[in-house]
Each structure stands twice: as structure tokens, then as C-alpha cells.
Amino acid sequence: MTEEKKTDAKPESKNSPELDIAAGEVVEEELVEGAKVRRKGIYLLPNALTTASLFSGFYAIVSAANGVFDNAAIAIFVSMILDGLDGRVARMTNTQSKFGEEYDSLADMVAFGVAPGMVAFFWALNGLDKVGWAITFIYVAGAALRLARFNTQIGSVDKKVFVGLPSPAAAACVAGLVWCFHLYEPATWLTLLSIIVVGGSGVLMVSNVLYRSFKDLDMRGRVPFAAILLVVLILVVIALDPATVLFTAFLIYALSGPVRALFRYKTKRI
């Protein structure tokens, strides 16, 4: 009787992907013209991009373990690009799925949580013994909590803002730091800077500080001709010294949240 009950048990949520045990396939329900349709399999293109992002994060960890820190940092930035592409490609090709959302979240945890933490640890924090472990774990745990909170707030928070520092931006701060200073000799100031950036990024991810999401920008509308010249100028500046420019840009973005929160607090008191 017990085995029969387990076999007949139904999944708790119809919105979650199911597994067809016999075929080894993922089965999802989709709404097609108002009717629910069960479909097997997953979409290849967006999930392939997610897999590439996951691989870049894994490659960053392996490179850092082998002492090739510039490649590790670059791999994290590559993950950011791929992570931005998979969602957009899914929306453009109408291939969104619950499986893709879950897979993307898990890949983000590796690429923007574990990978940056391990890269920073192998580079500068492993000489601090337990303190290094603690700072690294603060960052990794912050990324996990940030992603979990983001998933639960989808549809209930204004799309124009992020609550807490987005994990890709936090990863860019850490990767940019490593990329900028990986050739420097170990020094006290560099170790302190690493603690501040890694630990601070982890704390900001789980904070209630608001960050602009830039999702309200209309990328499809017409703009003045001078706008394309501005894009060219930005690309040229990045090409001159990508490590410094990217680290500075994302560090300013990370600091923009607390600064704006401080101004709002002072305005309310006045």
C-alpha cells in the first residue's frame, strides 16, 4: 500500500517542471491560447548559453586554483555577458520555461557566487587563515541569499530597481579588483582592499539598499545620432584599459546604492 501511494502521488505544483521517469524527459505545462499543454524536453538555445555561462564560472575557479588570475577574472566577465544573453534570447525567441529559470539561477550561483569568492580567496585571502575563509563565505552566502530573495520577489518589486546589489555587479567588483591588481606584489593595503571589496559586496547583496536596474531604458526607440558616437567613445575607453575601467565602473555602481540611500535619509530628516 505504501509503494502504491508513492507511485500515485502527484507533484505539489503544476507550475514546476516534472520528470517523465520512463522517458527521462522534463515535462512542463504551458498556456497555449488559454489551454494548458504538456510538453516534453527543454529549449536548446537559451539553455546552451546558460551552460556556457556556467562553464565560464567553472573555468574561473580552475584558473584561479592554477594561479592564472587574469584569465579567471576575464572568465567571470564572460559569464556576465552570457548571462545577459540567455534571458534576452529566450524572450526574443519565445522559449522561456520554468526549467530555464531554475537552471539559470543555479548557474548564476556558480558564476557570480562561488567563482568570484574562490578567485578572491586563492588570490589574496588564503593567507589570512580563518579570516580569509570567513570573508569568502560572507560573499558566497550573500550571493546565495541574494539570488533566493530575487527569485521570490519576481513580480512583486518595481522592475526599475533592484533590492540589494545584483550578484553579477558584485561579481564584477571582485573580478575587476583581481584583474586590476593581480600583478601587484602582496601588500597590507591590497589585502585590506580585498577584504573591503569582497566582504562589502557580500553584505550589499543581502541589504535592502535600492539600485537602479536600468530596465526602464528604451533600447528599441530612436535616439539622436550623437548617441552612437557616445557608444563608440565608451568602447574606446574600455579598450584602452578594460580592467581599470570595468572595476571603476562597477565599484561606482556598488557605491551608488548606499550614497543614494544616505541622501534619501537626510532629505527625510529635513
Neighbours of 186 (CB within 10 A): 9
| Of 190, 196, 177, 187, the residue nearest 247 (C-alpha) | 177
Per-residue pLDDT reduced to its tens digit, 29-38: 665 556 565 6
For the chain, domains (ranges, CATH) are 12-40 (no CATH), 44-269 (1.20.120.1760)
Amino acid at site 138: I
Residues linked to residue 30 through DSSP beta bridges, in sequence order: 37
The answer to whether residues 50 and 104 touch, using CB atoms and an 8 Å cutoff, is: yes
| Of 268, 131, 254, the residue nearest 202 (C-alpha) | 254
Per the prediction, the chain carries an average pLDDT of 86
123: which 3 cell numbers? 588570490
Residues linked to residue 210 through DSSP beta bridges, in sequence order: 163
Per-residue pLDDT reduced to its tens digit, 164-217: 999 999 999 999 999 999 999 889 999 999 999 999 999 999 999 999 888 767
d(CA 265, CA 69): 40
CA distances from 257 to 17, 100, 156, 176, 212 (A): 36, 30, 20, 19, 8
For the cut 70, the answer to whether the pLDDT of residue 14 exceeds it is no
d(CA 87, CA 123): 31
| Of 113, 39, 106, the residue nearest 76 (C-alpha) | 113
pLDDT value at residue 37: 59
Amino acid at site 125: L
Per-residue pLDDT reduced to its tens digit, 254-266: 999 999 999 888 7
Neighbours of 156 (CB within 10 A): 6
263: which 3 cell numbers? 541622501
95: confidence class by pLDDT, cuts 50, 70, 90:
confident
CA distances from 255 to 6, 174, 210, 215, 248 (A): 52, 14, 11, 19, 11
Q: Which of 26-35, 133-142, 218-227 has the highest mean pLDDT?
A: 133-142
Please, which residues have CB within 8 angstroms of residue 52's CB and are 6 or more apart in sequence? 82
d(CA 138, CA 201): 9
